[in-house]
Structure 1
């Protein structure tokens, strides 16, 4: 993972944690276990980092919902 995508992933973990009222460590575990980081956020960094935070959080929620991952 390159520096820019790493920073983006960390930012999105904290954005999700804030929206979901969860600890960032909890959010990280859910995203890592579901493959969201390695299969969604990192590969799509070039597109996602140009979108609003709320839009990307919604995309993450949809990714987790499709995989039946409870947040």
Structure 2
């Protein structure tokens, strides 16, 4: 993970926390539990960092829901 993708991951964790009314540490735990950070955010960084924040939050929500994680 390079600095740019790291900054993006941090930004998205905080964006999700704000949207879902959770602490960033809770969001990090949820994303980590299903490897969303490495398998989605970092792996597809080149594509998804060009999308809107709300679009990526919706995608993360779908990713978590598909893996049985309740938000």
TM-score bracket, normalised by the shorter chain, equals over 0.9
Q: Which runs of 5+ in 2 are unaligned?
A: none
In 2: Cα distance, 1:67 partner to 1:32 partner: 12
Which residue in the other structure is 2:7 paired with?
7
TM-score normalised by L of structure 2? 0.98
Q: Which runs of 5+ in 1 are unaligned?
A: none
Which residue in the other structure is 2:42 paired with?
42
Number of residue equivalences: 71
Which residue in the other structure is 1:20 paired with?
20
TM-score normalised by L of structure 1? 0.98
Q: Give the root-mean-square deviation of aligned CA atoms.
A: 0.4
